[in-house]
Amino acid sequence: MLHFEHKFDAKIGKRAEEKIEEVFKAMQKERNSGKIGYYNLPQNGFDLLKEVEDYKKKNSLLKENSIRDVVVIGIGGSSLGTKAVYELLKDQVKTKKRLYFLENVDPLDITRTLKKINKNKALFIVISKSGSTIETTSIFKYIMEKYKFSFKNKEDMKKFIAITDKGSALSMLADKNGIKQFNIPLNVGGRFSVLSAVGIVPLSLVDIDIKGVLKGAKEFVDSFFEEKENNLLDKAYFYSKSAKNFPINVMFTYSSLFNYFNQWYVQLWAESLGKINKFGENVGLTPIHLIGSVDQHSFLQLIIQGPKNKTVTIIKIEDFKKPVKVPKLSLDFLEKVDYINGHKFNKLINAECEATYETIVDENIPADCISLDKITAENIGSLILYYELLTSAVGQFLEINTYDQPGVEFGKIKLVKKFTK
């Protein structure tokens, strides 16, 4: 279960209420028209799960349980969300299977990752919505050559899955060579695609409770459209209304397991909201992600006494379900810290979280706290939908196209020119 607490003044008067209602109806229209498809992924995901289970029965390598390493070849929206869910939930699964990610064309990272993979027990998932992402296709080519895989060998092709838009270049390659493919809905953008085949397929193959993730996501999106999550719209209104005074949004998560979730949030927030609005103005909100308690000893100083141009969201885990305690051990010269002896680390990290939050609020910095009672598949699904819906709502308030990324495309055009002059 998620609990929300806001410590900022959204000043919700009559005009604000009208604007919030207008944005809510615009999001309803997006959902009902089918123009924007991520709203319906939690519901549709259960059918996709059945398709994955059917594939596992038909692929002899999976049926015989000979696959141990599942390797995602993808970048950005094709990997970040999946990596986030995997990192948060992998310790709750008893399996020998492991999920690896080849996303950066850093040759050192590629080499290091492949050293961990057993070619004979590996299945490679090539993910590209467009079907021609340069980083993804380059790594795909390298894998084919390094391991001497052949498109003519049917057994080799059992080691690959393609996840892409139907009819893309990658889709056509898969069709031609008998590679199993799963398709991303055309109305779902990459950074909103974690609950499509992009995330469901690889996470299912390593036994993550994706059904629980979908359940939590569906419950939250349903709750939102039943108008039970007004706190989300109030926050989106405040963010957009105060964007010039508070252009930086800090996510401060109190668990190291959230590191990749934070990276997913950064892409979702930055790529969706950094735009030119309908009036020709450059708008956007800058995401920064921090991990507590580590970043209390660095970035917190800037938040407290630096420019007051930031909002802060604290994400807290009430119960880590790990009874690890600080030993009742007194060390010479360090007796002054013995007050913590015998207490659980769970209590320590949450006390630090609460102290940080209280300090931020005391300094009149706009802040809110999202508490998870514990790390579960359902809670993570809810949190994913919370941030996707929040992003859409802020985009509506900013009067931008939340779902395109023309600035990214400019860079891609320049890259092609560097290799085709």
Q: Are 217 and 191 in contact (CB under 8 A)?
A: no
For residue 276, pLDDT over 70 is answered with yes
Q: Are 199 and 52 in contact (CB under 8 A)?
A: no
**H or E segment and range at residue 383:** helix 377-398
pLDDT tens-digit series, residues 122-135? 999 999 999 989 99
Q: At what angle do helices 230-241 and 14-33 cross, to 10 degrees?
A: 110
pLDDT at 410: 73
Sequence-distant (≥ 6) Cβ neighbours of residue 210 within 8 angstroms: 45, 49, 85, 199, 200, 203, 204, 377
Q: Are 157 and 171 in contact (CB under 8 A)?
A: no
Residue range 57-81: average pLDDT? Answer: 93
pLDDT at 421: 66
Confidence of residue 408 (pLDDT cuts 50, 70, 90): confident
Confidence of residue 177 (pLDDT cuts 50, 70, 90): very high
Residue range 177-204: average pLDDT? Answer: 97
pLDDT tens-digit series, residues 321-357? 999 999 999 999 999 999 999 999 999 999 999 999 9
pLDDT at 10: 73
pLDDT tens-digit series, residues 409-420? 777 777 777 777
For residue 249, pLDDT over 80 is answered with yes
Residue range 382-407: average pLDDT? Answer: 95
Residue that is written with structure tokens 């992998």 in the block: 90
Indicate which residues carry an active-site annotation. Answer: 271, 297, 412
What is the spatial distance between Cα 105 and Cα 141, in angstroms, rounded to a whole number? 12
- If one counts every other C-beta atom within 10 angstroms of the C-beta of residue 253, the result is 23
Confidence of residue 140 (pLDDT cuts 50, 70, 90): very high
Confidence of residue 13 (pLDDT cuts 50, 70, 90): confident
